Amino acid sequence: MNAHRTAYINARLIDPASGLDAPGALLTEGRTIADLGPRLFNEGVPEGTLTIDCKGALLAPGLIDARVFTGEPGAEHKETIRSASKAAAAGGVTTMIVMPNTNPVIDEVALVDYIERRARDTALVHVHPMAALTRGLKGTEMTEMGLLKDAGAVAFTDGDRALANARVLRRALSYARTFDVLVVQHAEEPALSEGGAMNEGELAMRLGLTGIPKLAETMMVERDIRLVELTGARLHFSQVSCAETLEVIASAKGRGLPVTCGVAAHHLALNENDVGAYRTFLKVSPPLRGEDDRLALIDGVLNGTIDIMVSSHDPQAPENKRLPFGEAAFGAIGLETLLAVALSLHNVHDASLIDALKPVTSAPADLLKLPSGRLAKGAPADLILIDPGYPYVVHGDQLRSRTKNTPFDGLRLQGVCLRTVVNGVTAYERAPDAA
Amino acid sequence: MTPTQTQPLPPPPQLAPGAFTHRHLLAIEGLTRGEITALLDLADTYVAQSRLVDKKSSLLRGRTLVNLFFEPSTRTQSSFELAGKRLGADTMNMSVSTSATSKGETLLDTAMTLNAMRPDILVVRHQSSGAPALLAQKVTCSVVNAGDGSHEHPTQALLDALTIRRRLGKFEGVTVAICGDVAHSRVARSNIYCLNALGAQVRVIGPRTLIPAYAERLGVTVYHDMREGLKDVDVVMMLRLQRERMAGALLPSPREYFYYYGLDFEKLSRAKPNAIVMHPGPMNRGVEIDSQVADDKAVSVIHEQVEMGVATRMAVLTALAQHLSNGADA
């Protein structure tokens, strides 16, 4: 008896890691992928194997979202690991990387253990924490990176806070290299962005809002790259938002430096004009920039300057968002819209499906050294079935996150997840007639 | 000659149907020349009414006007209060100190509480840009923006326009210089939109730290040298230097500011000989304006602005009330 064997037949296999895009089938056995390929099951599916007819849908690795904030521990009214994982499963995300910006901050081994235990006991998808880069996110003392790495932290970051002190960052990078851990920076010079609410420019001037200049990001990236040159450590910029930063990163990559960067889905789909008349759901950090920047970011993903795409899922309660724009909290939810934005690279910008899905599958897996994010024998059976062209209108109140602060409310997107498989078991299945 | 009470009052002034159809007055940006002119024409009639012995009419009788001020203000609040009273409305002032909001009640909670008392017009001043717009989405009454953050102060721009029109008789060919902290000024933004819509030429003058980098996009000419910027202007509009808004050090000292950007007779001599001087108040004498200029009735129209303020706000309340009577009581 072959327990937990499932055959996925009549699929279009999409594997960004290998470049495979072909009709075929896939077999999972227990928690792993046992076999796949165009000719698999040509002789029929063996007896005793559960068979799922994919009916021509895309079968791809589940998405890895490398930037997710939850409220657990400390702000469970915003989002728990479980509620976020429900949104993740519905959005085709099979691995969430959660940020350490909780209360208490994830800066000790016991707290990494706590996240992993809560994830194991409550989550529908895989959850891995990034640990704090500095104790309490205070930006002064580094955390126990070696021990935290052994406990399961996949990278080190102060989350939505920039590590501004150059001396602390220099030492943290130097120490990080000892254990070959990844450091993740939120690049925004706080002295230049302080008090800011949206992109600095004509719109901010007209709305009477304090602007956040692009320079706050670009100059910190430039500075940090010098520190990478000095220390040789791996540094990842969590979210880039403007064309100028891409130039700096492309040049550093050209020099062979171990620098990578990510982009938030909303920066690829929206621009500062969407803020309109003070719509606080569009208030994110870094801020939405101009249309030229948005187009440059899409180019950056397609030409490889940008390595990964993230949702930057950041639930905020109504009392933090139903405020005048300047007083409202930063942050937007995005677990359920990440897939559609990734597919827009294919649907709107003519990229191949392989190129569209790579920044949310194999690229983050490689960056974080995870075994998932690929269709390969022996890889984890984390899979999604996708209808890439399905058009729909986002209704914020129908999303599964505990808070509904989506910047896409009322907008049209294309592409849905039909089924999400985690560890070989279906964690989500789209209702057949769901609108 | 003083009019007597026995004179028959003219019929209550009205806007032409369709002249102003907005439910709220949140900003000047987006208003048309026709809408602004209609409000100014109406305000003109209220100037006359306010100079009578019996200043009161009953156009807003039974209506309730609430002044909701999250920022302290004497002149704007009393101006709205008088405007409401002269039109026969019941007026109430609520000054919400910042400590009240730190007790935990949000802006919207406060507004919804007031809204439940069924006011007809809510006049709101708030330190955050966009706060009146946020309220307007949630309440059932009309909202008037009485100044929000660095965004807009629409009634100030209207009263300034009325003052200019009564003095100069036109806007075409008129050049107005707005001087000082344009970057943080809601008065400047509203005046720029208003004067541009009416056909005047607008200049802004100030040091680079106080002029937004994108100011030209508002349709103004930027000057950093005040003497050059004041050359041949018809109107000099000074802004209050709001030192409390200065997040960082934008200026080295009030002394240096006055030396280069304070309005004195020497700098004013560059303007046209009959140029007028305006200030939205309250003035920082010796910082942005020299007392000799401020107090010289030959050039300063600062007190006239205050008088126009009441009349302008009466016009705004009338315009919004006309909309209310079309079914907001349902």
Q: What is the pLDDT of residues A15-24, one digit of tens each?
A: 999 999 999 9
**ipTM, 2 dp:** 0.91
In total, chain B counts a number of residues equal to: 330
Mean pLDDT score, B22-48: 96
In this prediction, residue B246 carries a pLDDT of 53
Q: Which residues contact A360 (CB under 8 A, 6 or more apart)?
A: A63, A64, A65, A308, A309, A338, A339, A342
Query: Are the Cβ atoms of B129 and A319 closer than 8 angstroms?
Result: no
Separation between Cα atoms, residue B314 and residue B45, nearest integer Å:
10
The reported pLDDT for the residue numbered B330 is 38
Work out the pLDDT band at B322, boundaries 50, 70, 90: confident
Q: Domains of chain A (ranges plus CATH)?
A: 2-59+380-388+414-434 (2.30.40.10), 62-368 (3.20.20.140)
Report the pLDDT value the prediction gives residue A209, as an integer from 0 to 100: 97
Q: Is A265 in contact with A337 (CB distance < 8 Å)?
A: yes
Strands ordered across the beta sheet of B221-223: B221-223, B201-205, B175-179, B235-238, B276-278
Rounded CA separation A32/A372 (Å)? 10
Render pLDDT for A308-358 as a digit per residue (tens, 0 to 9): 999 999 999 999 999 999 999 999 999 999 999 999 999 999 999 999 999
Q: Is the pLDDT of residue A432 over 60?
A: yes
Residue B197 has pLDDT above 60, yes or no: yes
CB pairs under 8 A between A and B: 65
State the pLDDT at residue B17: 83
List CB contacts of A252: < 8 A, sequence separation 6 or more: A225, A228, A259
* Partner-chain residue, chosen from A201, A277, A319, that has the shortest CB–CB distance to B133: A277
Check residues A190 and B3 and name the one with the higher pLDDT. A190
Q: Does A208 touch chain B (CB under 8 A)?
A: yes
Closest approach of B130 to chain A, Cα-based (Å): 6
Q: How far is B67 from chain A (nearest CA, A)?
A: 19
Placement of tokens 């026995």 in the chain: B6
The answer to whether A416 and A340 are in contact (CB under 8 A) is yes
**Average pLDDT, rounded, for chain B:** 90
Provide the pLDDT for residue A44: 87
Report cis status (omega within 30 of 0) of the bond before A73.
yes
Identify the band that residue B251 occupies on the pLDDT scale cut at 50, 70 and 90.
Answer: confident
Average pLDDT over residues A247-258: 98
Residue B252 — pLDDT band, cuts 50, 70, 90? confident
Residue of B nearest to A207 (CA): B151
Q: Write the pLDDT tens digit of every residue in B253-271.
A: 888 899 999 999 999 999 9
Q: Is the pLDDT of residue B307 over 80?
A: yes
Cα–Cα distance for residue pair B293/B283, rounded to 1 Å: 12
Structure confidence by residue, pLDDT tens digits, B211-228: 999 999 999 999 999 999
Give the closest of B29, B131, B247 to A206, CB-based.
B29
- What is the C-alpha to C-alpha distance for residues A33 and A86, in angstroms, rounded to an integer? 23
A161-187 residue pLDDT tens: 999 999 999 999 999 999 999 999 999
Average the pLDDT over each of A58-62, A329-333, B50-54 and give the range with the smallest value.
B50-54
Given a cut of 50, whether residue A153 has pLDDT beyond it is: yes
Q: Give pLDDT tens digits for A77-122.
A: 999 999 999 999 999 999 999 999 999 999 999 999 999 999 999 9
**B149 contacts in A (CB within 8 Å)?**
208-209, 324, 326
A325 Cβ under 8 Å from any chain B Cβ: yes
Has residue A418 got a pLDDT over 50? Answer: yes
Closest-CA distance of chain B to residue A211, Å: 10
Q: Which amino acid is at A161?
A: R
Q: Does A209 touch chain B (CB under 8 A)?
A: yes
Residue B12 predicted with pLDDT over 80: no
